[in-house]
Every structure is written in C-alpha cells, then in structure tokens.
C-alpha cells in the first residue's frame, strides 16, 4: 500500500465527481487554449494568404513612375509587370467592379510563379475568381477596363493633361486565373485582372516600360538596383548639346525636383564643372503699353542673357520690335498657374525692360525650353494642343513666323530667382540644368551620386512586410480569451464546486485519516494530488476539445460573425505553443480552484469531521424554520442582518440620487445610469442577503413556502449563487449600452462621401471644375475634395497590421480640425485619427508619435465614431509637401439630394467615382463593433448557462447535507415528489432572484442607450439568453435533486 | 501509563458555558481495560476524543507515556495519534475505495518503515478471521466484518491506547459478541490500555472495570 495506491483508489472510486471535475478542467482548457488557437488561426490564415498570394515574390521594385522593362533583366532573376488599380465593367451587363487590381503580365510572370499555361494573347485577360463572380463574367465576355493613364508630366502642373486621366481598354475574358496574386496584404478576396503586358503598355503609351519588378530572394537587391539602374529610370535625361557645348539635365516631367537638382549641381561641382539652372515657362501674353505678344517662352536663368536686376527682363530683338519696347519700359507678363485648389489661375508680373539682345548665342538657344507634348513638337502655333485654354484669335501671322523660324526659343529672359518665385511648384522649380564645361564622365558620376530608392524606385520587401502585417492589428486570441471569460470562469467554478462536493462527501474519511495520524497538510496534499491528476488529465483531454472549440469559433467567424473579420478565408491553425500554454494555464487555474476549495479543511476538528461530517451546521434551516421565534441565536442573526438593510438603504439612496442628477442632465446620462444600475444591483443583493438571514421570507404554509424558506438554510451560499447569476446577467445585458447606435446621417452636414479610383484634378467644388468634369448642374450639390495617399486601411475592417496607413488631407478652407494647422518642432506633422482606430488598430493614443516612411506624425486629436476610421488626417499643406506625387482629389464629402447621386456618379464613372451615404460607411464600422459585442454576449451567455449548471452542484451539496432532514420528512409522510418540489422551489427562487435582479438593474443602466435609439432592445436575444439560463438551471436542479433523492434517505435517519 | 487529571470540557452556549466534563481524573496502566457507560449527551465520547488527542480539553491535563498531546506541535500530535493510539468508531469508517487489506494499512502510509506492515496486517486480519477477504471491498462485508477490519486497522501500529466508541452499537447480537471477543482477546495479547464507551451493558459486563459518566464526572459503575 502506497500513497499512489490510495490515490488511484480514490480516483476510481469517486469517479462520478472526478468525472465532473475532469469535465470542468477540460472545458476550461478547451476554452482558454481554443481562444488562443483562434488568435493563431487568424494570424496563420493571414500569413497563409500573404504567402500564397505572393507566390515566389520576395521583394518588389516599385516605381513612382514608369521605367525601363529592361531593368528587370539587368537585375537578374526578376519579372517586370505593370501594377495599377482600375474599374472593370462587364460590357454586356454593365456590372461594374471598382478598385480592382490590374496586373500587366506576360509569360515571364507565370514562369516566375511556376504556373504552367499558355501566355495571354492579344486582348485576352484572366480574371480572379472573386472578380469573375462579382462581374458575373464567363470566358468570352467582353470586359472594359478603365485605368489611370500614366503621365510623366505632373497632372497638377500647367502642362499636365487633366481632362482625360484615364484610359479604357476593351478586353476579352479568357478564363479565371489559376491563382490569386496580390502584392499587398488583404484578408478579403483578390479582385484582380491579368492583362497582357504588351497590350497594356500599348494602351497606356508606355512601350517597353513597367512600374514594378518582382524579385525572388535576391541578396543585396538594393545594391544591385543602385548598380544597374539608369538615370532615365528616374525620368531624368542627361543630354549632350552641341551649341552651346553643355550637358543638359532634363526631366520627363518637365520639372526637376529640388533634391535631384542639388545632386546634379553638386556632382558638377565635384567634377569642376559649373551647373547653370534653367527655368522656362510659357507666358500667355507680354504687354508693353498697348502692344502685346501672345504665347511666348520666357526663361529664368542666372547669367547671360538674363538681366541682373530682380525686376528686369531681357527681350530679344524680335519681341522688342513687336512690343515696341525699349530699355526702361514697363512690361506686364501674364501667365497661367495651376494651383493646389484644383483651379487654373491667370497671374501677372511686372518687369522693367533691362536690355534688348539679338537672337544669337545664348539668346538663340531653343533647347532652353523643355519638351511639352502637344506644344514643342508642333509645326504651328495653331497646331498646339495644350492642356489649358488657348486663344487662337490672338495669334498673328508674325507669331507663326517666329514659331516656324525659332520654335520655342525664349523671347524674354529674367533672373532665375524671380522665375522660381513666380513659377516654382511642389514638383520642382527648374526645367533643366546645364553643366558646363561638359565633363565627360558627368552622367556616370550623376548615376553614382543618386540613390534611386530616394527618387522613385523603392525596394519593398513585400514578403517580410506582409508576414509582419500578418501578426495582425488585433490579437484575436486575446479578444477571445476576454470573450470567453465567463465561459472559463464558469468552467473553473464548476471544477471547484464539484471538487468541493467530492471533498464534502469524504469529510468522514478525512476525519478518520486525521484520527489515524494523518496531518491535515498531508490530507490536503493527497487531495491536491488528486486534483493535480485530474487537472493534468483534464488539460490534456482539453487540447482536443480546444481544437474543436476554436474550429467552432472560426466557423462562427466565417458565418455568423463574419462582420468581425470581413473574410471567409480564416481556417484552423493548430499551434503547439498555444496548446501548451492553454493546457498549462487550464491545469494551473483548475488546480488553483481546487486548492481554493481545500483552504478551510483544517479548521474542522477530526471529531467534527467524523461525527458531523464537518460541514452541516448543527441547526439546519428546516429545524430553524420549525422553531422560529425560539431560536436562542436569533439575536446574533439579527446582528448579522442588522447592518445589511441600512446599507442597502444607503446604497439605494445613492443610486436614486445619481438617477435624479442624470435625469436633470447635470451628469452625462450614460455613465450615470450605468453607475445607478450597478449601485441598485449591490443594494438588491444586500437586501436579499438581509431577508434570507432574517428568516422572514414567508410564513410556512405549504411545501412551496417550505422550499422558499429553505433558501435561508445557507444564506451565504444562496446569496453567492444569486450574486453570481445577477452579476453575469447584469454584465451581459448591459453590453447593450455599448451597442453602436444608429449611425449619424451625415458628417458636418454632408450626408454622402465618395471615393474615386482615378484622381480628379479639377476641383468639383467650383463651377469651372464641375464644368470641366461634365458634372450636370444640380441644385444644392456641394463637394469637399480631399487629397488621398492610398495606403493600408487603418480601420477595424483590416485584419492586417497597417504599416503605411492611408492619408487624407482636407482642403484648407474646410472649417474643422484646426489642430492640423499647428507647426510642430522637429518636423513633426500633426495628424488626427479615429479614436477606435487609434486604440484598437494603431495601438496609439493622443499625443503619441507614429513614424511612417521617415515621416513623424504626432497624433493631435482623436475623432469619436467618425467616418475617418481608415486613415490619418493631415493638413493639405503638409500633404502637398510630403506627398507631391499624389495628385488630385480622390475622397469627397458630398452634399446632395439622394436623387442627385446617380447623375453625379454617372458623370464621373470614368473616374471610378462611387458615392455612399455617410450612414452606410459608419454602419460598416458599427457592424464590426456590434459583432464583437454579439460575440461577447453569445460566449458570455454560454458561460452563464454553463455556470448555471453549478447551481445543480450547489443543490446537490445542500440536499446531501440535509439528507437527515429530508429523511425525517419522508418519515412523516412526504413523498419523494414533495421533497423534489421543496428543493426545486428553493433553487428556482435563487435562479429567478439572480435573473430578475441582474436584468432589472442592467435595464436601468442601459436605459439612456435604449432611449436614444428609439427604445430598440434586442428582446429576442435577451429572452433566448435568460430562457436558456432558466432552462439549464432548472434542468441541472432536477438532475441534482433526483440524484440526491435516489440515494436511500432512511438510513440517514437511522444514524441520527 | 495514561493519566487523566482534572479534565474539564465546556461548550459555549447562549445561556452560558455548558460543562460536559468537570474535573475528570483517571489513571490506567498498560493492560488495563475499562468500559464507560452513561446516558446520551453525558460526555462519554467527548472524554474519549480528549483522551485520543482529537479534541482539546478546556482545562486539565492528559498524558500518555509521559506525553501530553495538547502540548506538542501539530506534526508531533499526528505522529502521536498514529503510533500511540488506535480508534474504533461505532461506524467503522472504512474507506470504501480501498480493499480490506488496504484499509488496515492506511495508517501506515504516514508511518516510518512500511516494509513490516503488510505481513502484520495479514496477521491481524487472520486473527480477526478475515484472512480470506483481503481483497474485498468494505461494501462486500457484513457490519460485523467491517468492524473487525476497523479493529485490525486500529491495532496495526501496536498502539498503547485503544479507544472504542460504541464498537458494537451498529451490530446484531452475534456480531457484537464476536467483535467484543476479538477486542478483548487482542487487547489481552497486545497489552494495550483499552477504553470502551458503550451503551451495551452486555459489553460493559465483560470488562473488569466499569464506569458511569454522570453529572460530568466518572463514577464506578453501580456506585
């Protein structure tokens, strides 16, 4: 005989209670490990999606503009593609899909991804499965694809073409793509179209050019890129001019950015050459007195032939003659300027003629003007096709003659500083830089001096970033641990209750052991050992149940709770660490619960344990009830009761005072009512506690009232049961207070918002902008255009961790968020974000710093329940400074009648312009929050239902303790059914008191929230929950009662 | 030697302390056997448990072999009960999950040098006539058999003091007689100090010394 033998005997002999304990541990472990597995599964699924969609792609070289396709071959194992977004329309049905990914690919792509198959020919395209389903397309269908037309010249510069920023390509669907490909992490379906690369290059007029290179795991990719790129890949050209003999550094965009200009200049200095910056601009008109010359190129330059005086202008002889100008004359220069408000303005500047020069030497240099398509490549001024209004009527034959003879040779020269002041833009303030004398190795030196990654060729480790993002913005494991809290507590409660029940059944055994010389600590160790074996076994068995629990939760997330995750692509991922952690935590907490039940074992003497079984009071509730009034300990009980009633009164008064204050709106109603509800719950429990202890519940006139009176048998136990049920019901019901209310119908008076796939360069808030955009004249329509830098969705709709959030910038005229205009030290940029996105997605708070791509955003304020949950808001001024390449407006607040929405969308359909009500946008966010609440309520309710089974254990304990009383009742003629009724009534009383108290107080707590949404209450779910609790509670009581009453009662009477 | 000197036991009650034992004194040496009788509630069991180190007296002292169990620590007290005292309850208090042999061996689980015990347990069970039932569970035994197992368990540690609380109270006449025979025989063999609390005059009659507990004190029977 060894301790282990005794342990084994105990485990086998008391198998019923041990099984109940085991099931409790299994449940606790399953819930905990299962919740962690949910987190693992979400992360694992996101990771799988990233990996499967990237295929063999490890990194990409992404261009701000288009660059040589050949660069991919120069780098090595790499694949050139075009990546853009667009709008696809199934021509036959008109069904449209906005914001789809467009990939221009050829056979190299499929080889790179190890996907066999015939290359796409002609206008054939593949559609991703999701896009095909969305469009209802099948092979052979005609698909119209609308994408943004690339433009080297900034659209928001004078020479940018603003009216037709898109290109429509007609294509034919060949099949559904064999695999989904996506560079950016997204949990939803991939909506993509795969277009033949050559076709897309032709339609976008970017022959042999791409904007993305896919690479595998190439070591030192950045270094490789630095070696193999060419300056032309950045849109730069170094041109050798013969007369004068110089290098001319020029840009495809027509403007050289300030940083590049500095590098070009510094490089010249290093080579002991001189850099001469040039800025040429088109003047609409030069006027001296009443004579004028139209459409003239003016060059700002330091040195000959420009004057040195700041307001001076040098005219060539032809211009001076046409203007009748002589040195000292005042000259007015009119010119267009495209401003950041999305409008073309005509500005003018005053000069004084400094001198007049012949058209020779530097004054005859037609290369000073950059190449502008539609202007510099025409033979006649009348052939000009500029992207701005041109008044052909003012063009005279002599102007045509000048053009024929001198083309874009400048007619006037001004100092560079003045030119930059007048015509500098965010894209740069030089049109070319001349390097003289032309050092032979200048181009190579410039190449080496430029870091291509800073000027439009970014190396992005998409696989590493995707995997990092796949850690997720939200730890679903943590969330589901919270959501499953009641379930876990209930399981642990059951574990403890059943173990205690088992211990109490063995109190006599404990007494014997102590009489035989076992120390209390030894006995406790023995029980703990038993508990440890059960906890260990339960936790191991719980692992299987954990997988089942998490599979169930994931099924729910893919179906009923899909709004919480926004994808049906979440699958079960079992991870050993989570299982181990769950098992250990489950075993430890279960053992803790078991240890808790054993803590009072030592207080009873062995004699009491042997004779009185240690737990039953010497006076039972029944005997007390029968001797009411003559109880010698009544005074002591009165003392124990006496403080509860007054305290209940005080707490009630406090609750009423809080209610009254809230009613008069001196306090915020929601927290005040919540506080009052909580106080009333406490008061109610104190009152119930006092009443149970006072034994004045009811006169004993029937078996029912006898049952009611029995609730006072163990008042502490009864109150604990009521308190547990009431508290859980209170929390679950009052969750309704956090239910998002009906979304606001507008934001700042704007009932709609809109986004466009292609940028609107014209400002639709102005009459001329609407005219340019062909928006019909509709009464009461207003737009607030925002600038948008696309990026990661920072809202709860995105499961991935946003690395590079979307940035929005309101116009300067928007009368909100003055915090954005603050000037912060250290180059920090004030930003505003939605409070929920900040807390739950970005994990920041107001005042924190967020660094994205070397830009430091200081969170200046948080918006409550806003439509801007997906982005950061910054000022327009900062936006243009930080992201000059993001042109035009792509996000809009719209004020319009509902019937005006369709005409506006129709007018702007080529931009992929889609309007949605503000309330719909808010509702999409609310759905996520409300789904989380529903999840919590469902799992909490399940926990409450499980916890109610614990009532059965309490009933069983009560009945076992009172076997002698019940035997006495049997002896005096009670039938088993009478005894069952007595026990059930008692239990029902506890159950109902808990439910009614918790529900009533919770209703009060959430009254303002309910009232604010017109009295809507989730009646059905509440009734289901409370009904389930009641049913399970009664069921558990019946089972416990019948189990207890099945054991022979009369022997108990005999032993009395 | 068991020396009980001036033992008093009081219980708190609403009307003031209730005195159950009032200056009880008794001296017994190895081989002595006494029976204590008295009405229910007189304090017989209380005296028994006080003597067994299970319930401290309100005042007075008790020593067994020179050791006062209420002046030693919890650990020593447990060892004292384990090695010096054997208990036999009216209800046998066997562990239902253990076999007959295992029940007898239960006290040895917290004792030193366990190797010797299994043989002794078998011998004791042979002496009480249950050597054919070693692997039976208590539920498979009659009341008298259970009490005999309990007697073997009480004697497994060769206690100096054997305390029996109504050992035949739950038994029929024949079984009671058999248990009483065994009890006295084993007492004689092992020379324990035997104290039996009983309502049974038949059982008491078999003891050379008999006491009645009346008015909170011990009086020689018939006095």
**Residue A192 in 3-state DSSP?**
strand
Nearest beta carbon to residue A607 from set B15, B55, B102: B55
In this predicted structure, the answer to whether residue A728 has a pLDDT above a threshold of 90 is no
Mutant choice from B73, B106, B134 vs A, greatest count of A C-beta within 10 A: B106
The alpha-carbon gap from B110 to the nearest alpha carbon of chain A, in Å, equals 6
Tokens of A977: 């059914």
What is the average pLDDT across A843-858?
92
CB A34 within 8 A of CB A545: yes
Task: Pull the structure tokens for residue A113.
Answer: 């991804």
Whether B90 has its CB under 8 Å from any CB of chain A: the answer is no
Mutate to test the interface with B, among A510, A512, A518 (most CBs of B within 10 A): A512
Contact state of B109 with A6 under an 8 Å Cβ cutoff:
yes
Whether omega for the bond prior to residue B28 falls within 30 degrees of 0, making it cis, is: no
Residue A607: which of B54, B101, B118 has the nearest Cβ? Answer: B54
For residues A765 and A1047, the answer to whether their CB atoms sit within 8 Å is no
Residue A943: helix, strand or coil by DSSP? helix
Q: Do B106 and A6 touch (CB under 8 A)?
A: yes
Q: What's the average model confidence in pLDDT over A587-610?
A: 72
- Does B108 sit within 8 Å of A1, measured CB to CB? yes
The pLDDT of residue A632 is above 60: no
B89 contacts A516? CB cut-off 8 A: no
Of residues B13, B79, B93, nearest to A508 (C-beta):
B93
CB contact under 8 A, B87 and A508: no
Nearest CA in chain B to A513: B107
Confidence of residue A603 (pLDDT cuts 50, 70, 90): low
pLDDT at A1044: 64
In this complex, the residue of A9, A605, A610 whose CB is nearest that of residue B89 is: A610
Does the CB of B122 have a partner CB in chain A at under 8 Å?
A: no
Residue B81 has its nearest CB partner, among A3, A6, A515, at A515
Backbone angles phi, psi at B164, to 5 degrees: -125, 125
Shortest Cα distance from B118 to chain A (angstroms)? 8
Candidates B97, B115, B154: best to mutate against A (most CBs of A within 10 A) is B97
Backbone conformation region of residue A347, classed left if phi is above 0, alpha if psi is from -120 to 50, else beta = beta
Residues of A in contact with B171 (CB under 8 A): none
Q: Which of residues 161-200 of B touch A (CB under 8 A)?
A: none
Q: Which residue shows structure tokens 């590049």?
A: A260
- The verdict on a CB contact (< 8 Å) between A6 and B110 is no
Using the Cβ of B109 and the Cβ atoms of chain A, whether some distance falls under 8 Å is answered with yes
pLDDT given for residue A627 in this prediction: 31
Terminus-to-terminus CA distance in chain B, angstroms?
A: 25
Q: What is the token pair recorded at A51? A: 């990996």
Average pLDDT of the residues in A719-744: 76
SS3 A559: coil
Least confident of A201-210, A211-220, A653-662: A653-662
The closest CB to that of A516, out of B102, B106, B118, belongs to B106
Give the whole-angstrom CA distance, residue B161 versus residue B158. Answer: 9
Among chain B residues, the shortest Cα distance to A635 is held by B14
Please determine, for residue B70, whether its predicted confidence score (pLDDT) is greater than 50.
yes
Using DSSP's 3-state secondary structure scheme, residue A638 falls into helix
Residues A56-64: what's their mean pLDDT?
94
- CB atoms A13 and B15 under 8 Å: no
Nearest by Cα to A14 from A521, A589, A610, A498? A498
pLDDT recorded at residue A623: 30
Give the C-alpha separation, A933 to A314, whole Å. 74
Q: Is residue B119 within 8 angstroms of chain A, CB to CB?
A: no
Spatial CA neighbour of A783 closest among A809, A759, A753, A757: A753
A659, A691, A663: which is closest to A678 by C-alpha?
A: A659
Examine the pLDDT at A763 and tell me if it is beyond 60.
yes
**Touching check for B15 and chain A: CB below 8 Å?**
yes
| pLDDT over 70 percentage in chain A | 90
- The pLDDT value recorded for residue A322 is 94
B107 contacts in A (CB within 8 Å)? Answer: 516-517
One DSSP character per residue, A1004-1054 reads HHTHHHHHHTTT---HHHHHHHHHHHHHHHHHHHHHHHHHHHHS-SHHHHH
Q: Report the residue from A9, A516, A610 with minimal CB separation from B97.
A: A9
- The residue-averaged pLDDT of A944-961 equals 74
Cβ distance A520 to B82 less than 8 Å, yes or no, reads no
Q: Indicate which of A3, A7, A516 best probes the interface with B, i.e. most B CBs within 10 Å of its own CB.
A: A516
The pLDDT tens digits of the residues spanning A415-430 come to 999 999 999 998 999 9
Query: Which chain A residue has the Cα nearest residue B14?
Result: A632
Interface of A with B (CB under 8 A): 1-3, 5-6, 9-10, 12-14, 508-509, 511-520, 522, 605-607, 610-611, 632-633, 1055
Q: What is the residue-wise DSSP string for A63-84? A: EEEEEETHHHHHHSSEEEEEEE
Q: Check residue A706 and give its pLDDT.
A: 66
A151 pLDDT band, cuts 50/70/90, is confident
Given B45, B96, B110, which is nearest A517 (Cβ)?
A: B110
Which range among A69-78, A512-521, A690-699, B38-47 shows the weakest confidence by mean pLDDT?
Answer: A690-699
Is the CB of B105 inside 8 Å of chain A's CB atoms? yes
**Is residue A910 within a helix (H) or strand (E), and if so which, with residue range?**
none
Number of Cβ within 10 Å of residue A250's Cβ equals 23
- Is the pLDDT assigned to residue A595 strictly greater than 90? no
pLDDT surpasses 60 at B156: yes
Contacts of B75 in chain A (CB under 8 A): 519
- Look over chain A and give the mean of its residue pLDDT values, rounded to a whole number: 85
Contact between chains at A518 and B87 (C-beta distance less than 8 A): no
Of A3, A6, A607, the CB nearest to B49: A607
> For tokens 């006290």, what's the residue?
B107
Q: Which of A9, A605, A632 sits opposite B98 (nearest CB)?
A: A9
Test mutation, B54, B103, B119, B155, chain A, max A CBs within 10 A: B54
Q: Provide, as residue numbers in chain B, all residues whose Cβ is less than 8 Å from the Cβ of A1051.
A: none
Which of A5, A511, A610 is the closest to B102 by Cβ?
Answer: A5
Which structure tokens are listed for A685? Answer: 């429990």
Interchain CB distance below 8 Å, B79 and A517:
yes
A272: left (phi over 0), alpha (psi -120 to 50) or beta: left
Task: Say which of A517, A520, A605 has its CB closest to residue B55.
Answer: A605
| Chain A residues closer than 8 Å to B81 by CB | 514-517
Residue the block writes with tokens 């819930």: A31
Give mean pLDDT, residues A230-235.
94
Between CA A978 and CA A957 the distance in angstroms is 19
Band of pLDDT at residue A179, cut at 50, 70 and 90: confident
* Global confidence as pTM: 0.79
Q: Which residues of B touch A609 (CB under 8 A)?
A: none
Residue of A4, A11, A517, A634 best to disrupt the B interface, most CBs of B under 10 A:
A517
Q: By CA distance, what is B50's nearest residue in A?
A: A607
- Please return the burial class of A334, using the count of CB atoms within 10 Å of its CB with bins 0-12, 13-18 and 19+: middle
Residue A49: pLDDT band with limits 50, 70, 90: very high
Question: What average pLDDT score do residues A142-162 get?
Answer: 88
B72 touches chain A (CB under 8 A): no
Cα distances (Å, whole numbers) of residue A363 to A156, A322, A413, A429: 30, 17, 8, 21
Of all residues in chain A, what percent carry a pLDDT higher than 90? 43
Q: Does A667 score more than 80 pLDDT?
A: no
Can you tell me the ipTM of this complex? Answer: 0.75
Partner residue facing B96 (CB), from A6, A13, A605:
A13
Please answer yes or no on whether B118 and A1055 come within 8 Å at the CB atom: no
């Amino acid at each position: 005989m060894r301790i282990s033998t005794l342990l084994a005997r105990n485990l086998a002999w008391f198998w019923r209670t041990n099984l109940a304990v085991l099931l409790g541990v299994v449940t606790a472990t399953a819930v905990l490990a299962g919740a962690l597995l949910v987190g693992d599964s979400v992360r694992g699924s996101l990771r799988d999606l990233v990996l499967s969609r990237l295929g063999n792609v490890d990194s990409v070289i992404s261009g701000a503009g288009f660059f040589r396709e050949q660069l991919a071959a120069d780098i090595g194992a790499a694949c050139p593609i075009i990546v853009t977004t667009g709008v696809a329309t199934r021509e036959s049905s008109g069904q449209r899909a906005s914001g789809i990914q467009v990939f221009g690919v050829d056979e190299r792509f499929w080889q790179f991804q190890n996907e066999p198959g015939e290359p796409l020919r002609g206008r054939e395209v593949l559609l991703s499965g999701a896009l095909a389903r969305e469009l209802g397309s099948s092979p052979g269908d005609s698909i119209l694809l609308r994408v943004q037309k690339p433009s080297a010249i900034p659209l928001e510069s004078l020479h940018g073409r603003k009216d037709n920023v898109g290109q429509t390509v007609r294509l034919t669907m060949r099949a559904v793509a064999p695999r989904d490909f996506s560079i950016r992490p997204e949990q939803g379906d991939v909506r993509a179209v795969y277009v033949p690369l050559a076709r897309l290059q032709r339609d976008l007029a970017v022959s042999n050019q791409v904007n993305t290179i896919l690479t595998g795991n190439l070591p030192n990719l950045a270094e490789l890129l630095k070696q193999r790129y060419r300056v032309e890949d950045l849109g730069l050209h170094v041109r050798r001019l013969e007369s004068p003999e110089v290098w001319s550094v020029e840009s495809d965009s027509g403007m050289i950015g300030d940083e590049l200009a500095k590098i070009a200049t510094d490089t010249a200095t290093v080579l002991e050459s001189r850099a001469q910056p040039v800025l040429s601009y088109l003047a609409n008109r030069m006027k001296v007195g009443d004579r004028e010359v139209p459409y003239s190129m003016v060059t700002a330059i330091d040195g000959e032939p420009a004057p040195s005086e700041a307001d001076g202008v040098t005219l060539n002889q032809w211009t001076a003659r046409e203007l009748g100008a002589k040195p000292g004359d005042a000259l007015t220069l009119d010119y267009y300027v495209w401003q950041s408000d999305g409008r073309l303005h005509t500005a003018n500047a005053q000069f004084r003629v400094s001198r007049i020069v012949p058209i020779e030497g530097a004054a005859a240099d037609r290369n000073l003007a950059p190449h502008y398509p539609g202007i510099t490549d025409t033979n006649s001024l009348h052939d000009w096709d500029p992207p701005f209004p041109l008044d052909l009527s003012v063009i005279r034959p002599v102007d045509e003659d000048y053009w024929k003879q001198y083309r874009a040779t400048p007619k006037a020269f001004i100092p560079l500083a003045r030119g930059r002041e007048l015509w500098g833009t965010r894209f740069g303030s030089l049109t070319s830089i001349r390097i003289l004398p032309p050092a032979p190795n200048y181009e190579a030196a410039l190449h080496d001096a430029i870091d291509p990654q800073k000027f439009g060729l970014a190396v992005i480790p998409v696989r590493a970033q995707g995997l990092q993002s796949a850690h997720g913005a939200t730890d679903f494991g943590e969330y589901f641990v919270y959501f499953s809290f009641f379930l876990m507590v209930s399981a642990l409660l059951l574990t403890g209750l059943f173990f205690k029940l088992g211990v109490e059944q063995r109190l006599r055994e404990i007494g014997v052991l102590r009489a035989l010389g076992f120390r209390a600590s030894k006995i406790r160790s023995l029980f703990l050992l038993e508990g440890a074996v059960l906890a260990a076994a339960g936790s191991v068995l719980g692992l299987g149940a954990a997988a089942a629990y998490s599979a169930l939760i994931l099924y729910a997330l893919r179906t009923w709770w899909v709004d919480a995750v926004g994808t049906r692509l979440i699958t079960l991922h079992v991870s050993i660490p989570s299982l181990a952690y769950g098992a250990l935590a489950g075993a430890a907490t279960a053992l803790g619960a078991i240890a808790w039940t054993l803590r009072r074992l030592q207080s009873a003497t062995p004699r009491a344990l042997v004779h009185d079984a240690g737990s039953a009071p010497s006076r039972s509730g029944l005997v007390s009830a029968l001797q009411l009034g003559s109880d010698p300990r009544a005074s002591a009980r009165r003392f124990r009761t006496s403080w509860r009633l007054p305290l209940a009164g005080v707490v009630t008064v406090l609750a009423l005072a809080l209610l009254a204050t809230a009613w008069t709106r001196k306090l915020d109603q929601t927290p005040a009512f919540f506080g009052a509800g909580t106080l009333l719950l406490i008061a109610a429990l104190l009152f119930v506690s006092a009443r149970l202890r006072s034994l004045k519940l009811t006169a004993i006139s029937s078996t029912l009232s006898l049952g009611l009176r029995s609730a006072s048998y163990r008042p502490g136990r009864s109150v604990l049961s009521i308190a547990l049920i009431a508290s859980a019901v209170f929390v679950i019901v009052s969750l309704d207070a956090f239910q998002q209310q009906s979304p606001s119908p507008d934001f700042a008076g704007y009932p709609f918002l809109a986004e466009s796939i292609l940028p609107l360069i014209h400002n639709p808030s102005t009459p001329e902008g609407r005219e340019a955009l062909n928006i019909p004249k509709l009464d009461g329509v207003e737009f607030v255009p925002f600038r948008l830098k696309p990026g990661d969705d920072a809202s709860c709709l995105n499961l991935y961790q946003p690395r590079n959030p979307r940035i929005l910038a309101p116009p300067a005229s928007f009368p909100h968020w003055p915090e954005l205009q603050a000037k912060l030290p250290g180059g920090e940029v004030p930003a505003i974000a939605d409070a929920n996105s900040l807390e739950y997605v970005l994990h920041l708070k107001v005042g924190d710093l967020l660094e994205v791509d070397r830009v430091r955003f200081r969170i200046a304020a948080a918006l409550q329940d806003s439509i801007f949950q997906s982005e950061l808001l910054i000022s327009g001024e900062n936006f243009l400074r930080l992201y000059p390449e993001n042109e035009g407006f792509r996000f809009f607040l719209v004020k319009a009648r509902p019937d005006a929405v369709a005409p506006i969308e129709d007018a702007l359909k080529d931009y992929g312009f889609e309007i949605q009500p503000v309330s719909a946008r808010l509702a999409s966010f609310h759905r996520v929050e409300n789904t989380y609440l529903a999840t919590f309520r469902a799992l909490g309710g399940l926990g409450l239902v499980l916890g109610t089974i614990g009532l059965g254990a309490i009933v069983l304990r009560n009945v076992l303790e009172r076997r002698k009383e019940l035997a006495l009742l049997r002896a005096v003629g009670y039938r088993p059914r009478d005894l069952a009724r007595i026990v059930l009534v008692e239990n029902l009383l506890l159950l109902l008191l808990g439910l009614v108290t918790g529900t009533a107080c919770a209703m009060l707590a959430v009254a303002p929230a309910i009232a604010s949404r017109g009295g809507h209450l989730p009646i059905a779910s509440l009734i289901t929950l409370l009904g389930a609790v009641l049913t399970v509670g009664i069921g558990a009581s019946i089972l416990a009662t019948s189990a207890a009453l099945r054991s022979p009662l009369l022997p108990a009477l005999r032993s009395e | 030697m068991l020396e009980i000197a001036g033992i008093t036991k009081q219980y708190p009650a609403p009307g003031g302390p209730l005195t159950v034992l009032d200056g009880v004194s008794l001296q017994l040496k190895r081989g002595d056997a006494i029976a204590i009788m008295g009405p229910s509630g007189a304090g017989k069991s209380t005296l028994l448990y006080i003597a067994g180190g299970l319930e401290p007296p309100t005042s007075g002292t008790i020593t067994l072999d020179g050791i006062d169990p209420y002046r030693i620590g919890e650990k020593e007290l447990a060892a004292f009960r384990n090695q010096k005292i054997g208990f036999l309850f009216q209800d046998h208090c066997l562990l239902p999950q253990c076999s007959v042999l295992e029940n007898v061996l239960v006290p040895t689980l917290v004792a030193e040098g366990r190797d010797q015990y299994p043989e002794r347990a078998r011998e004791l069970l042979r002496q009480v006539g249950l050597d054919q039932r070693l692997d039976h569970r208590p539920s498979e035994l009659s009341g008298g058999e259970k009490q005999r197992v309990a007697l073997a368990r009480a004697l497994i540690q060769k206690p100096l003091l054997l305390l029996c609380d109504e050992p035949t109270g739950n038994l029929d006449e024949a079984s009671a007689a058999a248990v009483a025979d065994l009890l006295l025989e084993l007492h004689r063999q092992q020379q324990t100090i035997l104290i039996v609390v009983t309502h049974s005059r038949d059982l008491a009659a078999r003891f050379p010394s008999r006491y009645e507990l009346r008015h909170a004190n011990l009086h020689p029977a018939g006095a």
